[in-house]
Amino acid sequence: MTQGTPRPTTPPSSMVFVIKLLVVSWFLVLVQASSSCNQLDRDSLLAFSRNISTPSPLNWSASVDCCQWEGIACDEDKQNGDLRVIHLVLPSRGLTGFIFPSLTNLTALSQLNLSHNRLSGNLPNQFFSLLNRLQILDLSYNRLSGELPPFVGNISSNTIQELDLSSNLFHGTLPPSLLQHLASAAAGGSLTSFNVSNNSFTGQIPTSLLCSNHNSSSSLRFLDYSSNDFSGIIQPGLGGCSKLEKFRAGFNFLSGPLPSDIFNVVSLIEISLPLNKLSGTIEGIVNLTNLTVLELYSNNFTGPLPLDIGKLSKLERLLLHANNLTGTLPPSLMNCVNLVMLDLRLNLLEGNLSAFNFSRLLKLTTLDLGNNTFTGILPPTLYACKSLKAVRLASNQLGGQISPDILGLQSLAFLSISTNNLTNATGALRLLMGLKNLSTLMLSQNFFNEMMPDDPNITHPDGFQKIQVLGLGGCNFTGQIPHWLVNLKKLEAIDLSYNKISGSIPPWLSTLPELFYIDLSFNNLTGIFPTELTTLPALTSQQAYDDVERTYLELPVFANANNVSQMQYNQISNLPPAIYLGNNSLNGSIPIEIGQLKVLHQLDLGHNKFSGSIPAEISNLINLEKLYLSGNQLSGEIPESLKSLHFLSVFSVASNDLQGPIPTGGQFDTFPPSSFEGNPQLCGSAVQRSCLPQQVATAGGHSSNKKLIIGFGIAACFGTVSFISVLIVWIISKRRINPGGEPDKVEPESISANSNSEVHPEVDKEASLVVLFPNKTNEIKDLTIFEILKATENFSQANIIGCGGFGLVYKATLPNGTTLAIKKLSGDLGLMEREFKAEVEALSTAQHENLVALQGYCVHEGFRLLIYTYMENGSLDYWLHEKADGPSQLDWPTRLKIAQGASCGLAYMHQICEPHIVHRDIKSSNILLDEKFKAYVADFGLARLILPYHTHVTTELVGTLGYIPPEYGQAWVATLRGDVYSFGVVMLELLTGRRPVDLSKPRMSRELVAWVHQMRSEGRQDQVSDPLLRGKGFEEEMLQVLDVACMCVSQNPFKRPSIRDVVEWLKNVGSSNQQMNKD
């Protein structure tokens, strides 16, 4: 082999790559060494981090360059080569704490996003100096508060593009200097979005400054002022925002007409101004041809719909309901071919509806024209809108018959044509059975004086198989309950009330497996209450009721159940399980089997011809809320067992032949005298008739013991003699006191809750001064019982603002405008007057900013009054569970504030007040709210005024179902730890928005405490919170309160924290130093 000169070798490609990688890495190291995070930026961020906490660490380590930290981005400063922080972006990181002033040192910052966290406190004074360089500022969904600081810096700088301060707790007016800067930025072409919605800002909307007519080149595209406290008119100026696309200012107190220049902003695609007090006409709206959403509902707009409204051909949602609009539907409306939802309900619109051409509105899914005065027949062109799912034409003046063409609406699930003048009920039902998806059909108050449709073919072979709600009430139908109803196996609610239906109630109603709401009232029904009705599956079995399909209604149903105020229902399951049979001619006895209807909430058997006794088995209806038995021929006594119905809020047995004592205790102490009137043989405090000894004696068989009989006889004789003696002494003493024989005091019987009572003129206006505690009020120097009688209209029912186990509470408005709350105590007033006064005087020393102030008291011949400060916003229970929009107005910061305040009041009672007070009935209805939603604990110490007590523990359980600690069922002793349990339930109410016991929920989620424990055990604690609170940045904070609440509701009372610990934990919710000793 011949060896030649060796050729030079080329390194392999892999080696070349490695060498290049090393060179690049070495270069980056050099760059990093020469350019690192600016020292001032680094120190400023560290100062900020020391004042916040997070569920998981940010890992902002001083040993790591700040440009590498989470949420931080840097860029090189061309002047000195430093890396400056340009982005601080930490949304939804669970940050708690406050915004430290050091952030204003980040002078190169272009983007600051701390949204969806739990930051609190005021913004630093120099905070808006950041706007000199910022492009995006987003602090939305925090709990920042206070007034906004003024802008500091160069007004003419124009870098800011988006400013979002929505969903915080800011208040006051928007600073003019800030608005001037934003106006400059808008005019300079940078600012596109400004959002301050969901705060408490006041004053006028600053359109004249932010959208000046001189800023015709304004770049603003999005303005949101909604859900604040802005008032006054919308000033001219919006015309200057020539590129504006969305303008929202709903849920404020705006008034006056829409500014004319808003109609020049042709770029607008959305205007949302609902729930204000705006007025005037909307004619100019037709110029905004790019609109897709127009929401002006719940205002005071007048005049007709614009004739040229068809120019708004891009409209998808037109919501103008609840105004005072007049005139007819303009023909051009049919050109709005993209409409998906059209709601003009509750206006003054009129005209022949069938003359309007709906046939071009092919995308329409929801149409609501109810509560107007439209005439004509059902519009034939409507049947071309095959996408329709919900139609309401109720409460108009439509007539004629339903056309077969309606069968083209096969997507229709909701149809309400109630309160019109339709005819041919049988024909209507034969047609409508062909709508296979129909689930809600409301035809009430039509077909007047026709026969009740009884054609068996109405449901043959498969008609109405999805019907859940059927309304045929108020038609004056004659005939009987039709047998074809037996085929509606999905039927859940039926209304046949206010007809002339005769015959008996058919037993086959009991075969409808999902029926839980029956209204047959105001008919001519005869016969007995069929015992088969007591076997209705959905009313006897909670499991069957829970299995009933729950569906949301496409449009709300308005029910006028039992002739009371109209209620709105958005979900079928919200209808109460009820049987209304009142105002018929039913007879016989009420069957004892009625006790099987354990799911029933409301039962009306009033104004019939029922006889016999009231079955004690009604006490088995543990969910019963309303019971009407008035206007019958019932006899015997009111069963004592009925007082075990803890949810019973309305009860009437008036106008019967009942006798004996009215039960006391439980809910019976809250029912007014009108519940029992018309029964002359009833006795008790409710009817102001004393019961004779034999009436209150406990039934227990006859004794053959002659000595016992003789003893009773002697006692009776002695008692009679004693009574006569006392009476003589009393008459003499009265004559001595008042020689003229005229009474100078109000008799106890004259103090009544009967609204028909009058203030008694014979009362001495100077008599019976109310004892007022010093330094409690400046407005009232003295007060008499006469003035209280006058202020409450002699304790009229109309002035009742609350009721409970301790008595009724009345609103009293004094001549000087001062409003008080007067509690008229009921129950066994066992304390002597001297002891009672001593107890009240002791209670008056319990003074704390979170306790309802006891201002005074009055003891006057058999009744006792307590005078309290009146709370404008009522109770927490009202806002969480009764007020329609209450929960949505209680955001999480407000709910936390309520929990913190109430805990402080309870802590004062438990630990500071001498002697310590066990409340014994902590619940949401005993937490009252002032006009700023500050919490006050009410009804503290009342048990000591009425029932026996001891210093450390209190016997004779007082409590409310759902709040009572488990150990009370064993020992019947109220303790401080029991109060803590009840307060834990209140915290769970605030967190979840649920009642402590909600029988409308499925069985496994009916009891709040058990449901929360179950959810936590399954790791689903994040799903416990009220849906209205989710997604707003408070999740971690709510979980912390959930932990506190769950410790309070521990089954073991000795594992519950003291109220002092609870106060401290709630105070530190969100703080990094929160420590909970769970041992």
Residue 979 bears catalytic tag: no
Cα angle for residues 341, 345, 351 (degrees, 5° grid): 105
Q: Which residues contact 588 (CB under 8 A, 6 or more apart)?
A: 527, 528, 529, 610, 611, 612
Using CA atoms, how far apart are residues 877 and 997, in angstroms rounded to an integer? 13
Using CA atoms, how far apart are residues 794 and 229, in angstroms rounded to an integer? 38
Collapsing DSSP to helix, strand or coil, 677 comes out as coil
Would the CA dihedral through 945, 948, 952, 953 be positive or negative? negative
Collapsing DSSP to helix, strand or coil, 561 comes out as helix
Locate 90 and state its tokens. 């930490």
Cβ pair 879, 889 in contact under 8 A? yes
Using CA atoms, how far apart are residues 904 and 635, in angstroms rounded to an integer? 51
Q: Residues for the chain: how many in total? A: 1079
Q: What secondary structure letter does DSSP report for 479?
A: E
Cα angle for residues 780, 782, 783 (degrees, 5° grid): 95
Q: Which of 789, 784, 801 is nearest to 751 (CA)?
A: 789
Any known ligand binding at 824? Answer: yes
Distances (CA, A) of 957 to 477, 553, 974: 52, 43, 7
Using CA atoms, how far apart are residues 354 and 700, in angstroms rounded to an integer? 73
Would the CA dihedral through 753, 754, 756, 762 be positive or negative? negative
Collapsing DSSP to helix, strand or coil, 599 comes out as coil
> What residues form DSSP beta bridges with 821?
811, 868
Using CA atoms, how far apart are residues 319 and 272, in angstroms rounded to an integer? 9
User: Angle formed by the axes of helices 976-992 and 1059-1067, to 10°?
Assistant: 30
Amino acid identity of 7? R
Task: For 141-151, give one letter per residue: b (16+ CB within 10 A) or e.
Answer: bbbbbeebbeb
Distances (CA, A) of 767 to 278, 640, 840: 52, 39, 21
Pairing of strands 300-304, 324-327: parallel
557: Cα within 13 Å, side-chain hemisphere? 28
Q: Which residues contact 172 (CB under 8 A, 6 or more apart)?
A: 146, 147, 148, 201, 202
Q: Which of 560, 609, 563 is nearest to 584 (CA)?
A: 609
User: Angle formed by the axes of helices 1035-1048 and 976-992, to 10°?
Assistant: 150
Cβ pair 659, 676 in contact under 8 A? no
Distances (CA, A) of 535 to 508, 576, 758: 10, 18, 48
Residue in this structure with the two tokens 């048990």, named with its chain if needed: 943
Q: Which of 343, 604, 921, 1061 is catalytic?
A: 921
Q: Where are the alpha helices (DSSP H) in 919-1024?
A: 942-946, 968-971, 976-992, 1008-1017
Q: Which of 647, 641, 598, 596 is nearest to 626 (CA)?
A: 647
Pairing of strands 83-89, 72-76: antiparallel
Using CA atoms, how far apart are residues 103 and 51, in angstroms rounded to an integer? 12
Q: What secondary structure letter does DSSP report for 911?
A: I
| Residues designated catalytic | 921
Annotated binding site for ATP: 824
